[in-house]
Amino acid sequence: MATFTITGFADEIAPAMDEQVAGLQATQVAWVEVRGVDGTGVLDLTDTQAEQLRRRLVDAGIGVSSVGSPIGKVDIADDLEAHFEQFQIALRRAEQLGCDYVRIFSFYHKDQAAAAIRGLVMEQMHRMTQAAVEAGVTLLHENEKGIYGESPEHCLDLLATVNSPHLRAAFDPANFIQCGHAAKAGFDLLVEHVAYFHIKDAVAATGRVVPAGHGDGALEQILRAAVERGFSGFASIEPHLKADDPDFGGSGAERFATAVAALRSLLDRVER
């Protein structure tokens, strides 16, 4: 039987790490995808702060599933050497926080067509993947609007071209929906490469982000298909719910709890 381990972006609960920990514990989520820590991005922490964070989380009984880095979320025309130095910090954070994964993206290209920058994207992804191999880390490419890997087809191109077990997909159905792609078809195309899930849903007609199972992301079908393939890994809650949403709003802690409950409801059905 496949096993989904729930983790999440707890900085959507609150900027303060103490409140993040409290929100995780209240929802009985024992893992976190670290992105923002006391209002500071995870890559902007000092090494001392990173070590202190590790101890805080260990003391709270919380493990780190992934470093939720913004690596690759810059334009391909930017200073890529400086960005690679940031990437090396992300690899160090994974070691410091005791996790195997670093989330990345595949570069914006606002002034150029995707085909025109493909070669440079592949060069950078090969380079980062080789560094990840040496560090013993697996990179998780998240599909995202405006980057090379916006569509399922481009994600497949990227993952198949680099062709390494150290570069896998973090599958985000809501991001595909908001870009006009069918999430289930995207999953079917990428299934061999998916090692991690980002859990949020979206309504195709409006782009509104909703909890898992409340939109057009076909999450129940996708998670059931993953079960049938024997998937075992993390499902990371990334609520992105609006505080003033009439159905799913509230405080950060309330929105996170809503998102966790929706995922657990789906998992109760697909894992039994």
Give the C-alpha separation, 134 to 234, whole Å.
Answer: 23
* Residue 12: pLDDT band with limits 50, 70, 90: very high
What is the DSSP track for 178-211?
Answer: HTT--HHHHHHHHGGGEEEEEE-EE-TTT--EE-
Domain, as residue range, for 146: 3-250
Question: Is 266 a domain residue?
Answer: no
Question: Is 257 a domain residue?
Answer: no
Q: What is the CATH number of the domain that holds 139?
A: 3.20.20.150
The single-letter code of the amino acid at 2 is: A
pLDDT tens-digit profile of 154-189?
Answer: 999 999 999 999 999 999 999 999 999 999 999 999
Quote the percentage of the chain above a pLDDT of 90: 97
Question: Is 163 a domain residue?
Answer: yes
Average pLDDT over residues 211-219: 97
Question: Is 174 a domain residue?
Answer: yes
Structure tokens at 98: 């005791």
Closest CA to 73 of 39, 41, 97: 41
The answer to whether 97 and 53 are in contact (CB under 8 A) is yes
Question: Is 75 a domain residue?
Answer: yes
The answer to whether 139 and 102 are in contact (CB under 8 A) is yes
What's the total number of domains in the chain?
Answer: 1
DSSP H/E element including 237 = strand 232-237
pLDDT at 77 over 70: yes
Question: Is 127 a domain residue?
Answer: yes
Give the C-alpha separation, 185 to 221, whole Å.
Answer: 11
Closest CA to 71 of 124, 3, 15, 2: 124
Task: Check residue 1 and give its pLDDT.
Answer: 45
Average pLDDT over residues 213-222: 97
Q: How many CB atoms lie within 10 A of CB 85?
A: 10
Task: Check residue 2 and give its pLDDT.
Answer: 55
Question: Is 53 a domain residue?
Answer: yes
Question: Is 267 a domain residue?
Answer: no
Give the C-alpha separation, 38 to 216, whole Å.
Answer: 34
Residues 6+ apart with CB under 8 A from 115: none
